[in-house]
Amino acid sequence: MAVTAWSSEETIEKTYAHLGLVIEVPFKNAPFPHPARPPGYKFKGQKDNQNHYSDSRVLIFIPKGFIGTDPIDCVIHLHGHNNHVDKAVHDFKLIEQFARSGKNAILIVPQGPYDAVDSFGGKLENRNGFKCLMNEVLATVQAKTDLKTPTLGKIILSGHSGAYEAMAAILQNGGMTKQIEEVWLFDALYPEKEKDAFAVFRDWAKTAHHRYIDIYTNEGGTKSNSEALLKQLQRIDPTLEPLSDEDVKTKLTPAHNAFIHSKFHHSEVQYKDGQFESFLKSSILKDR
């Protein structure tokens, strides 16, 4: 499953029309723009690009065969550094994997810092910022589909690499923590001295009815943190052991946390062996 260059000649809506409906529009409650990242702001010497913090698009994917029952379950995926929504969706086969999973849910991919080395989550770090985003998602789905009165059901929060900061903020003060049933970190458990993201994920994973999945690599800078959290959770559940890539398709269950020590590279852990699809198939989400 090789990653190929994304071409903007064909719209993303047309590219994935055979798999379902793609809605990609600007959102008032998108992560950016945000006053902490004004126009022209450069983070850690990044190249001058006005677009780093001005793109307010959010992608919504509704798979073919979606059964429009109320409430609607959602998977929110946040991309990492040096990336943007269209490229992440294409390179990591997120829509293809989501469609193949057969789950009756919608996928939401907000635009974070555009092609920037920056973990800041913009408005997703504001109090109730995530709730505002999700309310706008429902309003957009209602306006652009025949789902006239949708409400929000279960939420799965997923993210790659630098998405960890925004994910931790969503869990802490996003306003919808009670509806988040699962959290998936794709090589993303980094140390964060200021905001202590590690503690946020640790405390969330310790809650009995939640599922936490952490896939980590040797090269991604997350191995020591992931193994430290694994040891802490093993005090609660001594049966919890690290899994391999080969275990992903057979040993994941919706009722248990999972730590996966992957042999793949940092940029491959979302797609190389269909990991995102396997996480979906083993999740609490209902089938279509």
Q: For 108-118, what is each residue's pLDDT tens digit? A: 999 999 999 99
If pLDDT is split at 50, 70 and 90, which confidence band does 4 have? very low
If pLDDT is split at 50, 70 and 90, which confidence band does 5 have? very low
Residue 200 lies in a domain: yes
**Does residue 7 carry a pLDDT above 50?**
no
What average pLDDT does the structure give for the chain?
92
Residue 84 lies in a domain: yes
Q: CA angle at residue 98 from 57 to 53, to 5 degrees?
A: 20
- Cβ–Cβ contacts within 10 Å for residue 80, how many? 23
Residue 288 lies in a domain: no
Per-residue DSSP letter, 243: B
Contact 197, 165 (CB under 8 A): yes
Residue 1 lies in a domain: no
Residue 204 lies in a domain: yes
Kind of pairing between the strands at 57-63 and 72-78: unpaired
Which stretch of 27-36, 115-124, 192-201 has the lowest confidence by average pLDDT?
192-201
> Beta strands of 161-202 (E only): which ranges?
180-186
Count of domains in the chain? Answer: 1
Q: For 228-260, what is each residue's pLDDT tens digit? A: 999 999 999 999 999 999 999 999 999 999 999
Determine the average pLDDT of the residues in 196-217. Answer: 92
Determine the average pLDDT of the residues in 180-190. Answer: 97
Question: What local confidence, expressed as pLDDT, does residue 120 receive?
Answer: 95
Specify the pTM. 0.94
Residue 32 lies in a domain: yes
**Does residue 214 carry a pLDDT above 70?**
yes
The span from the CA of 261 to the CA of 154, in Å, is 27
| Residue range(s) defining the domain that contains residue 187 | 12-281
Residue 287 lies in a domain: no
CATH number at residue 110: 3.40.50.1820
Which stretch of 49-53, 61-65, 144-148 has the lowest confidence by average pLDDT?
49-53
Residue 34 lies in a domain: yes
Q: Provide the b/e sequence for 2-22 (b: ≥16 CB within 10 Å).
A: eeeeeeeeeebeebbeebbbb
**Does residue 105 carry a pLDDT above 60?**
yes
**Does residue 23 carry a pLDDT above 90?**
yes
